[in-house]
Chain A
Amino acid sequence: MARYRSFRDLDWPLLIITLIICALGVLQIYSATHDTKWHSAWWQQIVWIVVGLGLMWIVTSIDYHTLLGQVPILYCISIGTLLLTFAIGDVVFHSKRWIAVPGTRVQIQPSEFAKIVIILLVARYLSELKSDEISLRDLLKLGGLVGIPTVLVMSQPDFGTGATYMPILAGGILLAGLRWRYLAVVAMVCALALPAGWYLLKDYQKARLVTFVDPSQDPRGRGYQVIQSKIAVGHGGIWGRGVTQGTQTQLRFLPVPHTDFIFSTFAEEHGFVGVVVVLGLYFLLLMQVVQNAQAAPDRAGMYICMGVATLLLFHLLVNVGMDVGYMPVTGIPLPLMSYGGSSTFSIFMMLGLVINVRLRRFVT
């Protein structure tokens, strides 16, 4: 197991962009919560980031091939903790997502860490295929492996987090090479069934469907949240209202302003210009991850990086899309900006995986 050569080989652009986004996130958490009961959240978030960097270091220092070798164990631990969540989880908003670490006040969200395991699982499974096309048997097998934790998380119920596992699987399969026939059939069925089904439904049925799939969200609040978010975003205008000056944010018309809707509050206070800058940073980060995928020494490394990239893109699309009303309210956080320990840890560990792959690109 070769170690990386020097600090120079670290992915400095990726780290710097990550830390800038984190800093903006902390600033926004402060602004959105400075006169609420969560007023110390910004400080807490800094702690999470520091711990996250530590975890990133650890993940980086273990060769990813070693990690891939431990996938069966990691997978079993994941399923175990998810099942444990059912047994001893704390109920928050009618949903069991958290388990308390005994003897501490720390709560862990196992579904966040399961993302990493799924990325590794998909990478290992696909890289071990000795073919450039995935067979139907492998497709079903891998689908089943990812499907088990997905179903477990969705029935917590946490639709949003469970849904994030799917793009990892889909992205991996598409990269691995899906037989055109399968792809065409799957695509056509989706393309036909989804809109047809959606348009056949009445508005209240759609709302009920969404509520059915994800009852953890207050159904009455759903429309209200999206409306308030759009108003907040629009109120920002080109230049924004200024830090701590967004009325939608400060007067709490926006729910959970420091977690799920943090980007709406950012948009209100920093305007279109701020939005373009931050989305630009996220784009650079994403491209940096993709670049590492391209430079990966082997397929496994490439799959790991692309898994992270796909997950990141999905998070951005769903969370930021929710702020402008494109996406339903699913309650998934914005990576690096939203307040939260587990989600911060998991994103740093994922970026750690990417750096891990990068550091081993010259190993032969």
Chain B
Amino acid sequence: MTPIESERQQPETSRLFKDDTRFALGRIAVFQYLSVGVFLLLITGFWVLQVRDHEANSELAERNRIKTVPLHAPRGKILDRDGRVIVDNHQAFEVRLTRENLKPEHIEPIAAGLHLDPDDLRARLKRFKSRPNYIPITIKQELTPGELSFVESHRDAQTFPELDLVQTQARLYPRNGLAAHVIGYVGEVSEQELNSSDFAKYSQGDIVGKFGLERQYNDILTGVDGQRRVVVDSVGRERQVLENLDPTPGNNLQLTLDLDLQAVAELAMDGKRGAVVALDPRTGEVLAMVSRPAFDPNAFATRIRASDWKELTTDPYTPLMNRAIQAQFAPGSTFKPLVTMAALETGTIDPSFSVHCGGGATFYGHFFRCDEKHGGLNLHGAIVHSCDTYFYTVGNKVGIDKLAEYAEMVGYGKKTGIDLPGEAEGLMPSSKWKLRTQREKWYAGETISVAIGQGAVLQTPIQLASIIGGLAIGGSWYKPHLVKSAARPDPVRRAEFRSDDLTTVISGMYGVVNEGGTGGSAAVPGLDICGKTGTAQRVSLTLAKSGKVGAELAKENGWFVGFAPRDNPEIVVAALWENVGHGYAAAPIVRDVIKAYFDKKIRMTESKPPSLALMKTSPLAVAH
């Protein structure tokens, strides 16, 4: 600076335009150093990105470029016994969100466009926190056309690059809730399930069976997802396919259910609360199973709304319960065939044993009432008219532990083993049971109630159908099942009952329907239907009279179990109609199903002969 300083000392006139550049040379040098600095800074920037962080950036570039699109495997279809489709799939779109690109302020508009609750969406994203944030998360399934176009028009790089569409196969269930409890529904695997061994191979976000057959046969129905690895550009257009792994669809499931019978049973239960189970007693095949009230499984096929779920789970009539296998109620008079078998087999009585019914009888100081004054009755008459006085007397003679022994033999108090999750056990009390559970002695007076299917005895509709069906075919029980097996199944239990005793019981049940008994409304001319009514208290009589329970819920449940034909039975049907008041009310339900079974059978055999006749005359057929 000294030259400049000295220049400044000179008078203004003497420096008249001394136009040279020397004065600035120092400053130009400073500029040169500055330039070197800028270039070094820039080169450092490139060194950091290109040399030091090259791998990390390459990975990001690859992730930008290569998109993995899951190819969802469709679940297997569910077919009825004749191969008719009950549960199908349909094409749907789901939208996924990549949190890596998500801006917090996008949540609100995205939720609005997809009709989601922003808080639900946030909660959902939070649940997947443990997953790397470049892995997309499904935020909505089965998009409506409006939602689809919202995603299509907003998933560009400028608007919501975090969104992404995937084609899926969604479940399509019968619209009217047909066989809803049997089929069940699918849903996203829950945290709880992921921790259990059943769902070990699944990961968060997977769709699994949650209920019914969908749950029971989840592994069979679930296919193996494929995937496409594609090169995409910045607007998501596919430029090149790197890998295409086709999905393997899940296996179809053929059921033993007969859609025709199922439809009749559904119709018969319309507007009622209860359940119907129809079995082929010779194999254990379930021909129809209805539980009411029902629900629409389609509501679960997409992610069910919290409000709908709450409504279903808090409904006092428990529509999500499969009453056919989960409703446990006192059997009432449907218990009497078992009491008869126990009495005959133990030799306590013979069919000629008679009791005079005067509208009840006193045992151990208590009066036990009967519905009517039946007068003098033998065993047959007692079954036909369902006389309680008779069975009080017989049960008292047999004793609780013999009753329990035979009850267990035919299947009371244990699961039938049907291939559905959540079956209830029912209950058959005994003196041991009482000691074990209540640490009390069995009072002989308690046996009196048990003898007419009250007291602690509990059964499920499936148990009733299975037990009576097994007795009807001569004392062997096949495991009830819904999925058709190729081989003819072996019975799970066999009881060595005297055929005379079985005949006595069966003829009694024949009388119930056809000889002016309690189940007369189940009769169909030409079909020798046998059956038994049951009217069971849900609450104790004293409580019912006290008015502490609703009048409707205090009414008795109606049971009816029937089978046909009398010899070599092919179908057994148990029906439960809750709070209807009388067992005979349930008889027409059973009649309708049995009638439908034989109507169909006749239809099938009538339609076959012409073709058979044709075949007989055909030389080709003969050659075969």
- Interface residues in chain A, defined as those with a beta carbon under 8 Å from any beta carbon in chain B: 127, 130, 132-133, 171, 174-177, 218, 220-221, 224, 228, 230-238, 247-248, 251-253, 267, 271-272, 275-276, 279, 282-283, 286-287, 290, 293-294, 296, 298-299, 301-302, 306, 309-310, 313, 316-317, 320-321, 324-326
Contacts and interface: CB of A to CB of B under 8 A. Distances in A.
A224 to B, nearest CB: 7
A276 B43 contact: yes
B42 A321 contact: yes
Contact of A251 (B20, B25, B65): B65
B16 A174 contact: no
B42 A317 contact: yes
Interface hub of A133, A317, A325, A326 (most chain B Cβ within 10 A): A317
A234 B49 CA distance: 4
Contacts of B158: 218, 220-221
Given A130-B16, A235-B58, A306-B28, A320 B64 contact: no
Shortest beta-carbon contacts, A-B, top 8: A234-B57, A324-B45, A235-B61, A251-B233, A234-B49, A272-B50, A302-B21, A252-B234
Nearest to B7: A132
A355 to B, nearest CB: 17
Contact of B42 (A218, A293, A320): A320
17 contacts: A132-B23, A174-B27, A175-B31, A230-B49, A231-B57, A233-B57, A234-B49, A234-B61, A235-B57, A251-B231, A251-B232, A253-B61, A271-B50, A279-B42, A282-B39, A313-B38, A316-B38
A313 B103 CA distance: 35
Interface residues of B, number: 53
Contacts of A317: 38, 42
A175 B43 contact: no
Contacts of B53: 234
Given A251-B231, A290-B28, A309-B31, A177 B23 contact: yes
Interface in B242-277: none
B45 A325 contact: yes
A357 to B, nearest CB: 11
B34 interface: yes
Interface string B35-61: 110110111011111110110111011
Given A232-B61, A247-B65, 9 more contacts: A132-B8, A221-B158, A247-B64, A247-B231, A251-B65, A253-B233, A272-B50, A293-B21, A306-B28
Classify the secondary structure of B's interface with A: helix
Nearest to A296: B21
Contacts of B306: none
A132 B4 contact: yes
A234 B54 contact: yes
A168 to B, nearest CB: 13
B17 interface: yes
Given A132-B8, A290-B28, A313 B64 contact: no
Contacts of B25: 294
Contact of A238 (B7, B36, B54): B54
B579 to A, nearest CB: 62
A279 B231 CA distance: 32
A130 B16 CA distance: 7
A208 to B, nearest CB: 12
A237 B51 contact: yes
B35 A283 contact: yes
Given A272-B50, A313-B34, A316-B42, A298 B64 contact: no
Given A237-B51, A287-B35, A317-B42, A177 B61 contact: no
Given A252-B233, A317-B38, A130 B54 contact: no
B127 interface: no
A251 B64 contact: yes
B50 A175 contact: no
Interface in B48-85: 48-51, 53-54, 56-58, 60-62, 64-65
B157 interface: yes
B200 to A, nearest CB: 37
A252 B31 CA distance: 37
Contacts of A320: 42
A290 B8 CA distance: 27
A301 B19 CA distance: 11
Contacts of B16: 130
Contact of A299 (B20, B62, B65): B20
B32 interface: yes
Given A224-B161, A272-B47, A237 B54 contact: yes
A177 B41 contact: no
Nearest to A247: B65
Nearest to B56: A234
B57 A279 contact: no
A270 to B, nearest CB: 10
Given A130-B15, A235-B57, A171 B31 contact: yes
A275 B44 CA distance: 11
Contacts of B15: 130
B25 to A, nearest CB: 6
A316 B39 CA distance: 9
A283 B50 CA distance: 20
A287 B239 CA distance: 45
Interface hub of A133, A228, A247 (most chain B Cβ within 10 A): A247
B235 interface: yes
Contact of A306 (B20, B31, B60): B31
B61 A279 contact: no
B19 A298 contact: yes
A255 to B, nearest CB: 8
B109 to A, nearest CB: 12
A252 B57 contact: no
B50 A253 contact: no
Nearest to A220: B158
B552 interface: no
A272 B24 CA distance: 36
A360 B62 CA distance: 55
A248 B61 contact: yes
Nearest to B36: A283
A351 B437 CA distance: 103
Contacts of A176: 24
A321 B19 CA distance: 37
Contacts of B34: 313
B47 to A, nearest CB: 7
A285 to B, nearest CB: 11
Contact of B31 (A133, A275, A310): A310
B50 A234 contact: yes
B21 A299 contact: yes
A133 B34 CA distance: 22
Contacts of A298: 19-21
A130 B50 contact: no
B43 A275 contact: yes
A197 B198 CA distance: 59
A272 B51 contact: yes
Nearest to A272: B50
Contacts of A171: 31
A294 B21 contact: yes
A78 B345 CA distance: 119
A290 B35 CA distance: 10
Nearest to A319: B42
